Copies of this chain bind each other. A is one copy, B any other.
Amino acid sequence: MSSQPAPLLALDLTGTFAFGLNGALTAVRAVRLDVVGVVVLGMITALGGGFVRDVLIDSLPPATLLDWRYYTLAAAGGLIAFALSRHLRRAERAIDVLDAVGLSTFAVIGAAKALDAGLDVAPAILLGVITAVGGGTIRDTLVGQVPTVLRTGLYAIPALVGAALTVLTIETGVYGLPSALGAATACFLIRVLGLLFGLNAPEPPETRGTRAGA
Protein backbone atom coordinates (compact mmCIF):
# COMPACT_ATOMS: atom_id res chain seq x y z
CA MET A 1 0.00 0.00 0.00
CA SER A 2 1.13 3.49 -0.77
CA SER A 3 2.38 5.73 2.02
CA GLN A 4 1.40 8.96 0.26
CA PRO A 5 -0.77 11.44 2.21
CA ALA A 6 -4.41 11.16 1.21
CA PRO A 7 -4.65 14.14 -1.20
CA LEU A 8 -1.53 13.05 -3.12
CA LEU A 9 -2.75 9.45 -3.17
CA ALA A 10 -6.10 10.55 -4.58
CA LEU A 11 -4.35 12.57 -7.30
CA ASP A 12 -1.99 9.67 -8.02
CA LEU A 13 -4.86 7.20 -8.44
CA THR A 14 -6.78 9.71 -10.57
CA GLY A 15 -3.72 10.13 -12.75
CA THR A 16 -3.26 6.38 -13.06
CA PHE A 17 -6.82 5.98 -14.29
CA ALA A 18 -6.46 8.95 -16.65
CA PHE A 19 -3.20 7.63 -18.10
CA GLY A 20 -4.75 4.18 -18.59
CA LEU A 21 -7.75 5.72 -20.35
CA ASN A 22 -5.87 8.26 -22.45
CA GLY A 23 -3.04 5.85 -23.25
CA ALA A 24 -5.43 3.23 -24.51
CA LEU A 25 -7.38 5.81 -26.53
CA THR A 26 -4.20 7.07 -28.18
CA ALA A 27 -3.17 3.52 -29.00
CA VAL A 28 -6.53 2.55 -30.43
CA ARG A 29 -6.49 5.59 -32.72
CA ALA A 30 -2.98 4.87 -33.99
CA VAL A 31 -3.29 1.22 -34.92
CA ARG A 32 -5.85 -1.54 -35.09
CA LEU A 33 -5.68 -3.51 -31.84
CA ASP A 34 -7.63 -6.24 -30.14
CA VAL A 35 -8.97 -5.96 -26.59
CA VAL A 36 -5.81 -7.37 -25.04
CA GLY A 37 -3.65 -4.91 -26.94
CA VAL A 38 -5.76 -1.92 -25.93
CA VAL A 39 -5.83 -2.80 -22.23
CA VAL A 40 -2.12 -3.70 -22.18
CA LEU A 41 -1.18 -0.39 -23.81
CA GLY A 42 -3.39 1.49 -21.35
CA MET A 43 -1.68 -0.26 -18.45
CA ILE A 44 1.78 0.37 -19.91
CA THR A 45 0.96 4.07 -20.27
CA ALA A 46 -0.26 4.27 -16.68
CA LEU A 47 2.36 2.08 -15.00
CA GLY A 48 5.38 2.11 -17.34
CA GLY A 49 6.98 5.35 -16.17
CA GLY A 50 6.84 4.22 -12.55
CA PHE A 51 8.26 0.82 -13.54
CA VAL A 52 11.31 2.45 -15.13
CA ARG A 53 11.82 4.66 -12.07
CA ASP A 54 11.42 1.78 -9.62
CA VAL A 55 13.85 -0.35 -11.64
CA LEU A 56 16.47 2.39 -11.70
CA ILE A 57 16.19 3.19 -7.99
CA ASP A 58 16.07 -0.54 -7.17
CA SER A 59 12.66 -0.38 -5.50
CA LEU A 60 11.30 -3.68 -6.78
CA PRO A 61 8.77 -5.10 -7.35
CA PRO A 62 7.32 -1.77 -8.52
CA ALA A 63 4.98 -0.09 -6.04
CA THR A 64 2.07 -0.18 -8.51
CA LEU A 65 2.28 -3.98 -8.79
CA LEU A 66 2.03 -4.33 -5.01
CA ASP A 67 -1.03 -2.10 -4.57
CA TRP A 68 -4.12 -3.46 -6.30
CA ARG A 69 -5.70 0.00 -6.67
CA TYR A 70 -3.06 1.09 -9.17
CA TYR A 71 -3.12 -1.82 -11.59
CA THR A 72 -6.89 -2.15 -11.30
CA LEU A 73 -7.48 1.52 -12.15
CA ALA A 74 -4.99 1.33 -15.02
CA ALA A 75 -6.74 -1.73 -16.46
CA ALA A 76 -10.16 -0.13 -15.91
CA GLY A 77 -9.07 2.92 -17.89
CA GLY A 78 -7.92 0.67 -20.73
CA LEU A 79 -11.16 -1.35 -20.73
CA ILE A 80 -13.32 1.78 -20.77
CA ALA A 81 -11.28 3.15 -23.65
CA PHE A 82 -11.76 -0.14 -25.51
CA ALA A 83 -15.50 -0.15 -25.01
CA LEU A 84 -16.23 3.54 -25.52
CA SER A 85 -13.47 4.83 -27.78
CA ARG A 86 -15.93 6.34 -30.25
CA HIS A 87 -17.95 8.19 -27.63
CA LEU A 88 -14.94 9.45 -25.71
CA ARG A 89 -13.93 11.73 -28.59
CA ARG A 90 -16.44 14.23 -27.24
CA ALA A 91 -14.73 14.18 -23.83
CA GLU A 92 -11.27 14.89 -25.23
CA ARG A 93 -10.77 18.14 -23.30
CA ALA A 94 -11.81 16.58 -19.99
CA ILE A 95 -9.49 13.64 -20.59
CA ASP A 96 -6.61 16.00 -21.41
CA VAL A 97 -7.16 17.76 -18.09
CA LEU A 98 -7.25 14.47 -16.18
CA ASP A 99 -4.10 13.44 -18.04
CA ALA A 100 -2.43 16.67 -16.90
CA VAL A 101 -3.32 15.71 -13.31
CA GLY A 102 -1.45 12.44 -13.85
CA LEU A 103 1.53 14.17 -15.45
CA SER A 104 1.84 16.57 -12.51
CA THR A 105 1.38 14.03 -9.74
CA PHE A 106 3.70 11.48 -11.33
CA ALA A 107 6.46 14.09 -11.79
CA VAL A 108 6.26 15.23 -8.17
CA ILE A 109 5.99 11.78 -6.57
CA GLY A 110 8.61 10.35 -8.92
CA ALA A 111 11.18 13.03 -8.11
CA ALA A 112 10.51 12.70 -4.37
CA LYS A 113 10.95 8.92 -4.49
CA ALA A 114 14.18 9.17 -6.45
CA LEU A 115 15.63 11.69 -4.00
CA ASP A 116 14.50 9.49 -1.15
CA ALA A 117 16.37 6.56 -2.76
CA GLY A 118 19.62 8.51 -2.42
CA LEU A 119 19.95 10.02 -5.88
CA ASP A 120 21.40 13.47 -6.33
CA VAL A 121 19.41 16.51 -7.44
CA ALA A 122 19.78 16.22 -11.23
CA PRO A 123 19.09 12.47 -11.57
CA ALA A 124 16.15 12.83 -9.18
CA ILE A 125 14.62 15.47 -11.45
CA LEU A 126 15.33 13.23 -14.46
CA LEU A 127 13.54 10.32 -12.80
CA GLY A 128 10.59 12.56 -11.97
CA VAL A 129 10.28 13.38 -15.66
CA ILE A 130 10.70 9.71 -16.60
CA THR A 131 7.93 8.74 -14.17
CA ALA A 132 5.63 11.26 -15.81
CA VAL A 133 6.41 10.67 -19.48
CA GLY A 134 7.95 7.18 -19.56
CA GLY A 135 4.71 5.23 -19.89
CA GLY A 136 3.47 7.28 -22.84
CA THR A 137 6.88 6.98 -24.46
CA ILE A 138 6.83 3.18 -24.25
CA ARG A 139 3.27 3.11 -25.62
CA ASP A 140 4.12 5.33 -28.59
CA THR A 141 7.18 3.22 -29.37
CA LEU A 142 5.14 0.02 -29.27
CA VAL A 143 2.57 1.36 -31.72
CA GLY A 144 5.28 2.53 -34.09
CA GLN A 145 5.13 6.27 -33.50
CA VAL A 146 7.86 8.65 -32.47
CA PRO A 147 6.95 9.46 -28.86
CA THR A 148 4.93 12.67 -28.85
CA VAL A 149 6.75 13.77 -25.73
CA LEU A 150 9.96 13.97 -27.78
CA ARG A 151 8.42 15.98 -30.59
CA THR A 152 5.66 18.33 -29.79
CA GLY A 153 3.98 20.36 -27.18
CA LEU A 154 4.76 21.27 -23.65
CA TYR A 155 4.63 17.83 -22.13
CA ALA A 156 8.10 17.08 -20.80
CA ILE A 157 8.78 20.69 -19.79
CA PRO A 158 5.95 21.01 -17.24
CA ALA A 159 7.02 17.64 -15.82
CA LEU A 160 10.56 19.03 -15.56
CA VAL A 161 9.29 22.09 -13.71
CA GLY A 162 7.19 20.02 -11.32
CA ALA A 163 10.06 17.62 -10.60
CA ALA A 164 12.55 20.47 -10.16
CA LEU A 165 10.28 22.37 -7.74
CA THR A 166 9.80 19.17 -5.77
CA VAL A 167 13.53 18.54 -5.48
CA LEU A 168 14.13 22.20 -4.62
CA THR A 169 11.60 22.19 -1.78
CA ILE A 170 12.90 18.89 -0.40
CA GLU A 171 16.52 20.06 -0.52
CA THR A 172 15.63 23.33 1.22
CA GLY A 173 13.71 21.42 3.88
CA VAL A 174 10.30 22.92 3.17
CA TYR A 175 8.83 19.85 1.50
CA GLY A 176 5.49 18.68 2.68
CA LEU A 177 1.99 18.26 1.37
CA PRO A 178 1.50 21.99 0.57
CA SER A 179 4.75 22.29 -1.40
CA ALA A 180 4.12 18.98 -3.19
CA LEU A 181 0.69 20.23 -4.23
CA GLY A 182 2.27 23.55 -5.23
CA ALA A 183 4.83 21.84 -7.46
CA ALA A 184 2.12 19.69 -9.01
CA THR A 185 -0.05 22.76 -9.59
CA ALA A 186 2.78 24.58 -11.37
CA CYS A 187 3.27 21.59 -13.67
CA PHE A 188 -0.47 21.30 -14.22
CA LEU A 189 -0.91 24.97 -15.12
CA ILE A 190 1.96 25.00 -17.62
CA ARG A 191 0.60 21.86 -19.24
CA VAL A 192 -2.95 23.19 -19.47
CA LEU A 193 -1.76 26.57 -20.77
CA GLY A 194 0.31 24.73 -23.37
CA LEU A 195 -2.78 22.79 -24.41
CA LEU A 196 -4.91 25.93 -24.59
CA PHE A 197 -2.45 27.97 -26.62
CA GLY A 198 -0.76 25.17 -28.58
CA LEU A 199 2.65 26.12 -27.24
CA ASN A 200 5.76 24.14 -28.14
CA ALA A 201 9.26 23.88 -26.73
CA PRO A 202 12.11 25.32 -28.83
CA GLU A 203 13.31 23.26 -31.79
CA PRO A 204 16.88 23.03 -33.04
CA PRO A 205 17.91 25.78 -35.51
CA GLU A 206 18.19 23.26 -38.35
CA THR A 207 14.53 22.27 -38.31
CA ARG A 208 12.87 25.59 -37.46
CA GLY A 209 10.29 26.62 -39.96
CA THR A 210 10.13 23.20 -41.56
CA ARG A 211 7.13 22.01 -39.63
CA ALA A 212 5.02 21.68 -42.73
CA GLY A 213 7.55 19.44 -44.38
CA ALA A 214 8.25 17.31 -41.32
Contacts and interface: CB of A to CB of B under 8 A. Distances in A.
Given A55-B55, A207-B28, A37 B119 contact: no
Which of the four size classes fits the interface of chain A? 35 or more
A179 interface: no
Nearest to A56: B61
Contact of A211 (B32, B55, B68): B32
10 contacts: A33-B204, A36-B156, A36-B160, A55-B56, A56-B60, A57-B60, A61-B118, A65-B126, A82-B204, A141-B141
A201 B37 CA distance: 10
* Interface core residue of A55, A149, A201, A211 (most chain B CB under 10 Å): A55
Contacts of A33: 150-151, 203-204, 207
Copies in the complex: 3
A5 interface: no
Interface string A33-45: 1111110110100
Interface of A: 28, 31-38, 40-41, 43, 51, 55-58, 60-62, 65-66, 68, 71-72, 82-83, 85-86, 117-120, 122-123, 126, 137, 141-147, 149-152, 156-157, 160, 200-207, 210-211, 214
